[in-house]
């Protein structure tokens, strides 16, 4: 039985690698892009189940999320991967942080996954797997920030902590419907965001994330996991 996976921000980086690996594994893939006209690499992805269905989505916009839900009405989505994210340079420390950049980061990284999940919940509920994966980050770990004395990017770290809390709460809200919401850290990955010195290629990260996702079920609702499936500190 084919599994349908929807990946947000699938036109580059980890999202594009997830789309490639999911397609190679025979899954039906729906990839979103803010500008589908420029998603050439995503358009070239194909696998045993065919090419990727590309849909437009700006995860910051509730209207855009609702338009996506309308376009996908009646299509079960087994696995929703909220991957789209930003890491603004101009929001690093107390002295210089830009409140506008901070709020924009919160909007995309914390509010966006909630808007997308809300809009596509009927599609997820109608599916066999009923899984929502939030691509979070170890940078959201309060435990590590305390233990290791982190001072880093105010907006990015805080946005992922907020996502982790929101995911815990919606996991508790949706568990009775059989929907499992799980947070996953993709590792430090060589993308536009992660930079060239990161530890993992997008392919290695995506392949490991999909292995982990394969094994997830309702008993994993609310967990915060590394890409290799190991639990992470909150």
> Which single residue is written with the structure tokens 């839900």?
69
Q: Based on CB atoms, which residue is closest to ligand NAP, 39 or 171?
A: 39
**In 3-state terms, what secondary structure has residue 74?**
coil
User: Which strand (E) or helix (H) includes residue 214?
Assistant: helix 202-214
Q: Based on CB atoms, which residue is closest to ligand NAP, 15 or 47?
A: 15
Quickly list DSSP for 142-179: HHHHHHHT----HHHHHHHHHHHHHHHHHHHHHGGGT-
Considering the rule CB under 6 A, would residue 40 count as an interface residue with ligand NAP? no
Q: Based on CB atoms, which residue is closest to ligand NAP, 177 or 199?
A: 199
Per CB under 6 A, the list member of 49, 193, 204, 218 interacting with ligand NAP is 193
Strand order in the sheet with 180-185: 53-56, 28-33, 4-7, 79-82, 131-135, 180-185, 224-226
Considering the rule CB under 6 A, would residue 192 count as an interface residue with ligand NAP? yes
Q: How many of the other CB atoms lie within 10 Å of CB of 25?
A: 17
Q: Based on CB atoms, which residue is closest to ligand NAP, 67 or 218?
A: 67
Considering the rule CB under 6 A, would residue 137 count as an interface residue with ligand NAP? yes
- Residues 63-102 close enough to bind ligand NAP by CB under 6 A: 83-86
Per CB under 6 A, the list member of 9, 31, 47, 88 interacting with ligand NAP is 9
Q: Based on CB atoms, which residue is closest to ligand NAP, 192 or 219?
A: 192
The string over 167-202, giving b where at least 16 C-beta atoms fall within 10 Å of a residue's C-beta and e elsewhere, is bbebbeebeeeebbbbbbbbbbbbbebbeeeeebeb
Per CB under 6 A, the list member of 4, 6, 7, 15 interacting with ligand NAP is 15
Per CB under 6 A, the list member of 198, 204, 218, 222 interacting with ligand NAP is 198
Contacts of 101 (CB under 8 A, 6+ apart): 88, 90, 91, 155
Shortest distance (Å) from residue 104 CB to ligand NAP = 9
Give the residue numbers marked as catalytic.
Answer: 156
Shortest distance (Å) from residue 116 CB to ligand NAP = 9
Residue 187 in tokens: 């590792």
By CB under 6 A, name the binding residues for ligand NAP: 8-9, 11-15, 34, 57-60, 83-86, 108, 112, 135, 137, 185-186, 188-189, 191-194, 198
């Amino acid at each position: 039985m084919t599994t349908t996976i929807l990946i947000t921000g699938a036109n580059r980086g980890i999202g594009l690698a997830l789309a490639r690996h999911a397609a190679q594994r025979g899954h039906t893939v729906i990839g979103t892009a803010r500008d589908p006209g420029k998603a050439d690499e995503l358009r070239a992805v194909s696998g045993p189940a065919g090419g990727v269905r590309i849909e437009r989505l700006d995860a910051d916009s509730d209207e855009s999320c609702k338009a996506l839900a309308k376009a996908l009405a009646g299509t079960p989505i087994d696995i929703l991967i909220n991957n789209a994210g930003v890491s603004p340079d101009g929001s690093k420390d107390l002295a210089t942080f830009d409140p506008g950049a901070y709020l924009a980061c919160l909007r995309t990284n914390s509010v966006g996954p909630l808007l997308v999940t809300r809009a596509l919940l009927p599609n997820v509920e109608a599916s066999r797997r009923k899984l929502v994966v939030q691509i979070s980050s170890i940078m959201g770990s309060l435990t590590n920030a305390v233990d290791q004395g982190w001072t880093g990017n105010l907006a990015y770290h805080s946005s992922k902590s907020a996502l982790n809390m929101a995911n815990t709460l919606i996991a508790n809200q949706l568990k009775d419907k059989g929907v499992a919401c799980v947070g996953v850290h993709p590792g430090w990955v060589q993308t536009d965001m992660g930079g060239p010195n990161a530890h993992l290629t997008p392919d290695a990260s995506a392949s490991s994330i999909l292995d982990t996702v394969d094994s997830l079920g309702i008993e994993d609702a609310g967990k915060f996991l590394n890409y290799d499936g190991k639990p992470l500190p909150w």
